[in-house]
Amino acid sequence: MNPIDELNMKGELARKSSYYLARMSSDEKKSALMHAAKLIVENSELIINANKEDLIQARNNGITGPLIDRLILDNARINSMAEGLNQIALLEDPLGEVLSMKKRPNGMHIGQIRVPLGVIGIIYEARPNVTVDAFGLCLKTGNAVILRGGKEAINSNTAIVRIIQESLVSQGFPPEAVQLVGNTDRESALAMMKLNKYLDVLIPRGGAGLIRTVVENSRVPVIETGVGNCHAFVDESAKTGMAEEIVINAKTQRPGVCNAIETLLVHSSIADTFLPVICDKLREHKVEIRGDKYVREIIGYAVPASEEDWYAEYLDLIIAVKVVHSLSDAINHINKYGSQHSETIITENYTNSQRFLSEVDSAAVYVNASTRFTDGFEFGFGAEIGISTQKLHARGPMGLKELTTTKYIIYGNGQIR
């Protein structure tokens, strides 16, 4: 089946399913999510075997390092995905929330309530955990979802979706509430961007190239998830031990994810003492240091940082390091080069911390904590559909409320205009 026909068929089925989902009770959705979580764990071996096929193919295609890490599924990660579904199941259902209700002079009552978006499309790359997160958040909010994953994870995604669909059927839900696009060619992604007859919103999750392509080509409204050029700024008043732990965690714990830092900014008054320590520790973790001229005067093994490095999302064991002379310099650098994702300041100066929070223009801004916490699970959302770096409708980790819209309801008793 060609991509256009496949997408139109799935779109029509998803639209029908969305009407069914919108009327399901909170208890029914809770039960369905918990059953899916149970079935995913029970079928861990099947999922891992499918994932092994993807890993073999990925390595044959030259994929290595952090990109492989994104793709790997093991028992711990599968259990974590299932736990995410259980957390979503226990969260308060946002649907039906009355946001306002006012009586007009003519006696009518006009209110606003929270309702599903309808049908959500997601285009993503080699992150099979996204499949489970997207299903959970969309089902909880009464949305049908069409998933178009990358070819790197097609076997993993197929196995996961098949298990979820079996679970839905057993719970009396339409299996088309979640559908996976089988064709992973570029044409299927482009066809999905044109599916405005059925999709209410399209969410890209992946690298800068994917996001840019979707934003530039989609006829469907797009929620733009962000490239993660994240920063850590070590202020002159910082506790250096804390700063070292935060920087190492934010860069090396999982370098291939969007909330890992890519640039380290250090105040000039502590650069001579702090940089040798932190750079040696980063080097122990096999991180390549790319520094400005001040950094290279202190760190002999640092390689020159280019202008492009300040914009880069490496998703790898590479970090750009720059010496700044003031808080203003740090803020200006972040606002110029950053991707408006996540930034942190390590400081003991309250005034500086508050100014950093106020003036840095990003979706998540931290004081004395790692940027690795920018995550729906860590924020208590159960999971996330993505991290939005735009400012309309949603910003930051997108949980349940970000997958809803509103409509007005009006009660009258015969009023005419």
Q: Are residues 214 and 152 in the same domain?
A: yes
Residue 390 has a pLDDT of 83
Query: 395 and 335 share a domain?
Result: no
- The verdict on residue 311 lying in a domain is yes
Of 242, 230, 231, nearest to 346 by C-alpha is: 242
**∠ CA 37-38-43, rounded to 5°:** 100
Whether residue 60 lies inside any domain: the answer is yes
What is the mean pLDDT for each group of 10 consecutive residues in the chain (417 residues)?
90 97 96 98 97 94 82 95 93 95 97 97 91 95 96 96 98 97 92 96 87 92 87 97 98 92 98 97 97 97 97 95 98 96 98 98 97 89 80 85 95 95
Q: Say what the pLDDT of residue 260 is.
A: 96
Do 273 and 393 belong together in one domain?
no
**Are 266 and 324 within 8 A, CB to CB?**
yes
* 416 within some domain: no
E strand or H helix at 102: strand 98-103
Residues 112, 213, single domain; the answer is: yes
State the pLDDT at residue 197.
96
Tell me the one-letter amino acid at 232. A
In a domain, 379, yes or no: no
* CATH code: domain of residue 298: 3.40.309.10
**Number of domains the chain contains:** 2
DSSP secondary structure letter of residue 339: -
CATH code: domain of residue 104: 3.40.605.10
Which residues have a Cβ under 8 Å from the Cβ of 303 and sit 6 or more positions away?
Answer: 288, 289, 290, 291
Question: Could you tell me if residue 381 is inside a domain?
Answer: no
Say if 221 falls within a structural domain. Answer: yes
3-state DSSP helix/strand/coil % of the chain, to nearest 5: 45, 20, 35
State whether 261 and 274 are in the same domain: yes
Measured between alpha carbons, how far is 369 from 126 in angstroms, rounded to an integer? 28
Closest listed residue to residue 178, CA positions, set 29, 367, 68: 29
Same domain for 38 and 176, yes or no, is: yes
Does residue 417 belong to any structural domain of this protein? no
Dihedral angle computed from the Cα positions of residues 396, 398, 400 and 405, in that order, rounded to the nearest 10 degrees: 90
DSSP labels, 388-403: E-SSSS--EE--SGGG
Domain assignment present for residue 331? The answer is yes
Helix (H, G, I), strand (E, B) or coil at 98: strand
Give the C-alpha separation, 336 to 37, whole Å: 42
Task: Say whether both 20 and 166 belong to one domain.
Answer: yes
208, 253: one domain: no
Asked if residue 395 and residue 249 are part of one domain, the reply reads: no
Q: Which domain holds residue 305?
A: 230-373
- pLDDT (0 to 100) of residue 359: 98
Maximal C-alpha separation, the chain: 82
pTM of the full structure: 0.83
* Whether 295 and 402 share a structural domain: no
User: CA 70 to CA 315: how far, in whole Å?
Assistant: 10
Task: Give yes or no: residues 174 and 245 share one domain.
Answer: no
In what helix (H) or strand (E) does residue 70 lie, and over which residues does it extend? helix 65-71
Same domain for 347 and 393, yes or no, is no
